[in-house]
Amino acid sequence: MATGRVFLVVLLALAVSFNVSLAKTKICDKGWECKGVYCCNQTISQIFTVDNFEELFSKRNSPVAHAVGFWDYYSFINAAAQFEGIGFGTTGGQLMQQKELAAFFGHVAAETSCGYSVAVGGP
């Protein structure tokens, strides 16, 4: 009977030590704007800050803009959250996240005044 108790105590100690080692590993099970310990990728707001947005789209509210006040950083972050389910800017590691955001903003630039040859501050 004492042998059974010793075996049970040893088994319990092993289980606890195994669970402690598992608690230290990251498991990616969260998505958009995750703040928990299970997040492996950075969030879009960590990769692309308000300052980055202001620098890239500095002319968006100029008098010649067609939609003054429409395009702002917080609107972008909220819109991006709608595509979290398909992994927009939140999967594949930091480099892949940066590439995906760069491709998206490249498309935005090409389709707006940023790609128009006579735009102020344009190419």
Quote the pLDDT of residue 42: 76
Determine the residue type at 34: C
pLDDT category of residue 51 using cuts at 50, 70 and 90: very high
More confident site: 66 or 38? 66
Distance of alpha carbon 104 from alpha carbon 48, whole angstroms: 12
pLDDT score of 39 more than 60: no
Quote the pLDDT of residue 62: 77
Quote the pLDDT of residue 103: 92
Determine the residue type at 45: S
Task: Answer yes or no: pTM beyond 0.85.
Answer: no
Determine the residue type at 5: R
33 is catalytic: no
Cβ atoms within 10 Å, residue 43: 20
Distance of alpha carbon 30 from alpha carbon 7, whole angstroms: 38
Instruction: Classify residue 40 as exposed, middle or buried by CB count within 10 Å of its CB (0-12, 13-18, 19+).
Output: middle
Instruction: Render pLDDT for 57-76 as a digit per residue (tens, 0 to 9).
Output: 887 787 776 777 778 899 99
Helices (H) and strands (E) in the chain, counts: 5, 0
Percentage of the chain exceeding pLDDT 90: 7
Percentage of the chain exceeding pLDDT 70: 57
Dihedral, CA atoms, 82, 84, 88, 91, nearest 10 degrees? Answer: 170
Quote the pLDDT of residue 67: 72
Q: Which domains does the chain have, with CATH numbers?
A: 2-115 (1.10.530.10)
Instruction: Render pLDDT for 69-112 as a digit per residue (tens, 0 to 9).
Output: 778 899 999 988 888 778 888 887 788 888 999 999 888 877 76
Query: 92 Cβ partners below 8 Å, 6+ apart?
Result: 41, 100
